[in-house]
């Protein structure tokens, strides 16, 4: 900067003028402005409304929701909040009364936090939270008469005197609110339009919010409480850390949603930690979750979402390159001691399990005639499939006793020798099948076997054939306790989802001996689980997830040629 340059800057409500300003002084001044522009946001007081709805009349009960409400009160009270807790609000009038009573308490420059745990959903682009007496109406327009519209809460909070508004919703985002059929997914995105509004959902659009039945809290609330209480971490960073923790704890299955804008960091406790330290910690936490995996999609998402993490991003790029060059080597097959033929079930001497013969033939794969619950994107149009060779399939899902015998460990969450093994990745399931002389079935083979010759959506009454959310006791059950299908296969519907060999695509395979695409990001899962609704327990219902997924909802069974 040459002598005589005139520089104007803003101070104390008016422009000031500097002459002959050296470059280093100007740089220091700019840095001072930058520091002040992102300085901590101060609030007059912190107030929170906590709502936990769990004892529903027409929906599944959620005991964790009531625990979440109690424990969030403890956490927020410890952070200096003035907390109001309301549980099991029975009607829409009750929800309206409590919400607007809370809003009326807000004063100038307050921090207002509303936390909700319970059932919710969406219809016609609007998000709703549900009172205990909510019953699905016949028409979408009737929902507003029975449920609380979340956009109204957001709008009224933004028009209040509060300086910072925080809305946290720990609820599934795949619930239907009209009739028995899904209306296209749960909560849609609800971004904060006014500065000072932050909105957090426990899961991504169209996805469930998971919980461990043996734990007191949901995955999201458990992580949220821990991160809010971290000293020196600002509010938005605590929510970001919660996202990462939930993503990690659910084996990259549940991806919390976060949106909004604050004019600066809001610290709930302690002094701020340096920006460099916070960024470094966040990069390290995120990198730990993906660095040892083989999911190229997750590694690429890391590069995009954490582009400021220089060293970790470079490592992610290198790992992607390595994985792309690596060809998937087949697992050496070993001849099973016991051979299978068409003369009924035989026992495999390697794992001690029985295998059932499935004959060659032609069947219709996909949506069954008259099935109103089909997913139009994944189950239609139905395709004619011909399997030219018969094969054998496990009479039951692989048990924990068999897995322990073959693999030398038992990763299952719900322990029991005759329960299905779970918490196994696709690669681990494939390795097991290879060790007993078999393989994972293709998706077409799985559906052929599951149908047992029927064209119906199920091979029997759901209570007789499958374990699901309303009869499982929130856990897996020993195999072969329900009625088998016509081929003699047990638990093809419910208990645990089952890995198949195929990569997922929305287009159903068809024709002769079909297999999935040669590459992909998700493997096909079939059959539904102990924690799923009846609509997921249909022979044509399809799901998918990353091959690295390990969850108590997922197991497998093997096929033999």
pLDDT score, position 432: 96
Structure tokens at 459: 């091979």
| CB 389, CB 561: distance < 8 Å | yes
User: Are 32 and 55 members of one domain?
Assistant: no
User: Are 519 and 410 members of one domain?
Assistant: yes
What's the first-to-final CA gap in the chain, in angstroms? 80
| CB 554, CB 414: distance < 8 Å | no
User: Are 247 and 208 members of one domain?
Assistant: yes
| CB 114, CB 47: distance < 8 Å | no
Cβ neighbors of 105 (< 8 A, separation 6 or more) are 47
Residue 292: domain span = 287-326
One-letter-per-residue 3-state SS of 66-130: HHHHHHHHHHHHHCCCEEEEEECCCCHHHHHHHHHHHHCCCCCCCEEEEEEECCEEEECCEEEEC
426/410 Cα distance (integer angstroms): 15
pLDDT in tens, the chain (561 residues): 333 444 444 444 443 434 333 433 334 334 443 444 457 888 999 999 999 999 998 888 888 899 999 999 999 998 999 999 999 999 999 999 999 999 999 999 999 999 999 988 877 777 888 999 998 887 888 888 899 998 899 999 999 989 999 999 998 766 667 664 434 444 445 655 578 999 999 987 767 777 766 678 899 999 999 899 887 788 999 999 999 888 878 877 788 888 888 888 898 875 544 444 445 556 766 676 666 666 676 677 677 667 767 777 777 787 777 766 554 444 343 333 333 344 568 899 999 999 999 999 999 999 999 999 998 888 999 999 999 999 999 999 999 999 999 999 999 988 999 999 999 999 999 999 999 999 999 999 999 999 999 999 999 999 999 999 889 988 999 999 999 999 999 999 999 999 999 999 988 989 999 998 988 888 999 999 998 888 899 999 999 888 887 888 899 999 988
229/232 Cα distance (integer angstroms): 9
396/556 Cα distance (integer angstroms): 9
Q: What is the DSSP letter of 414?
A: S
Stated pTM of the model: 0.49
User: Are 300 and 264 members of one domain?
Assistant: no
CA 160 to chain centre: 33
User: Are 314 and 388 members of one domain?
Assistant: no
User: Are 387 and 531 members of one domain?
Assistant: yes
> For residue 381, is the peptide bond before it cis, meaning its omega torsion is within 30 degrees of 0?
yes
Q: Tokens 């989802």 sit at which residue?
A: 497
Q: Tokens 């190229």 sit at which residue?
A: 296
CATH code for the domain in which residue 522 is found: 3.90.1580.10
User: Are 66 and 173 members of one domain?
Assistant: yes
Beta carbons within 10 angstroms of residue 96's beta carbon: 15
Q: Tokens 């051979």 sit at which residue?
A: 339
| CB 50, CB 72: distance < 8 Å | yes
Q: Tokens 């109204």 sit at which residue?
A: 152
Q: What is the DSSP letter of 529?
A: -
Beta carbons within 10 angstroms of residue 558's beta carbon: 26
User: Are 121 and 212 members of one domain?
Assistant: yes
What are the DSSP E strand ranges found in 171-219?
A: 197-201
183/169 Cα distance (integer angstroms): 20
User: Are 471 and 524 members of one domain?
Assistant: yes
Q: How many domains does the chain have?
A: 4
Within a domain: residue 334? Answer: no
User: Are 526 and 554 members of one domain?
Assistant: yes
pLDDT score, position 190: 60
CA 516 to chain centre: 24
User: Are 83 and 140 members of one domain?
Assistant: yes
pLDDT score, position 211: 72
Nearest-5° Cα angle at 262, 260 to 265 = 130
134/323 Cα distance (integer angstroms): 49
| CB 417, CB 367: distance < 8 Å | no
Parallel, antiparallel, or unpaired for β 391-394 and 559-560?
antiparallel
Within a domain: residue 338? Answer: no
Judged by DSSP in three states, 258 sits in strand
161/159 Cα distance (integer angstroms): 7
User: Are 468 and 517 members of one domain?
Assistant: yes
pLDDT score, position 342: 45
């Amino acid at each position: 900067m040459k002598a005589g340059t005139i520089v104007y800057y803003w101070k104390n409500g008016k422009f000031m003028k500097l002459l002959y300003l050296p470059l280093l002084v100007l740089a220091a001044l700019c840095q001072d402005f930058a520091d002040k522009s992102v300085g901590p946001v101060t609030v007059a007081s912190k107030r929170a409304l906590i709502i936990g709805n769990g004892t529903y009349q027409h929906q599944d009960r959620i005991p964790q929701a009531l625990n979440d409400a109690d424990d969030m009160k403890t956490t927020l009270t410890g952070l200096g909040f003035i907390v109001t807790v309301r549980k099991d609000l029975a009607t829409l009038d009750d929800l309206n009364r409590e919400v607007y009573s809370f809003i009326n308490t807000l004063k100038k420059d307050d921090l207002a936090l509303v936390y909700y745990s319970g059932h919710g959903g969406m219809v016609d682009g609007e998000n709703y939270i549900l009172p205990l007496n909510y019953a699905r109406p016949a028409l979408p327009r009737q929902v507003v008469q029975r449920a609380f519209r979340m956009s109204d809460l957001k709008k009224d909070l933004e028009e209040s005197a509060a300086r910072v508004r925080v809305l946290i919703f720990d609820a599934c985002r795949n619930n239907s609110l009209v009739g028995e059929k899904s209306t296209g997914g749960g909560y849609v995105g609800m971004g904060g339009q006014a500065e000072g509004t932050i909105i957090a959902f426990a899961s991504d659009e169209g996805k469930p919010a998971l919980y461990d039945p043996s734990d007191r809290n949901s995955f999201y609330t458990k992580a949220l409480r821990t991160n809010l209480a971290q000293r020196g971490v600002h509010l938005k960073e605590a929510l970001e850390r919660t996202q990462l923790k939930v993503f990690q704890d659910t084996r990259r299955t549940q991806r919390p949603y976060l949106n909004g804008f604050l004019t600066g960091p809001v610290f709930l406790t302690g002094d701020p930690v340096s920006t460099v330290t916070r960024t470094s910690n966040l990069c390290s936490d995120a990198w730990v979750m993906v660095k040892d995996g083989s999911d190229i999609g997750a590694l690429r998402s890391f590069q995009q979402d954490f582009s400021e993490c220089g060293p970790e991003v470079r490592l992610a790029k290198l790992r992607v390159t390595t994985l792309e060059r690596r060809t998937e080597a087949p697992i050496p097959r070993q001849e099973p001691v016991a051979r299978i033929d068409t003369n009924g079930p035989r026992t495999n001497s390697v794992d001690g399990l029985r295998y059932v013969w499935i004959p060659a033939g032609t069947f219709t794969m996909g949506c069954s005639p008259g099935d109103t619950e089909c997913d139009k994107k994944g189950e239609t149009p139905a395709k004619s499939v011909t399997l030219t060779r018969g094969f054998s399939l496990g009479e039951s899902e692989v048990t924990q006793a068999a897995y322990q015998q073959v693999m030398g460990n038992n990763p299952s969450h719900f322990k029991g020798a005759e329960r299905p093994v779970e918490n196994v990745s696709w690669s681990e399931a494939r390795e097991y099948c290879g060790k007993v002389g078999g393989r994972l079935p293709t998706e077409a083979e799985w559906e052929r076997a599951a149908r047992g010759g029927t064209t119906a959506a199920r091979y029997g009454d759901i209570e007789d054939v499958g374990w699901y959310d309303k009869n499982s006791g929130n856990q897996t059950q020993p195999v072969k306790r329900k009625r088998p299908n016509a081929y003699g296969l047990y638990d093809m519907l419910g208990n645990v989802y089952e890995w198949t060999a195929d990569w997922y695509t929305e287009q159903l395979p068809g024709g002769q001996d079909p297999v999935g695409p040669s590459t992909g990001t998700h493997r096909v899962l079939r059959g539904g689980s102990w924690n799923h609704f009846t609509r997921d327990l249909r022979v044509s219902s399809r799901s998918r997830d990353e091959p690295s997924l390990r969850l108590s909802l997922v197991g497998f069974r093997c096929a033999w040629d």
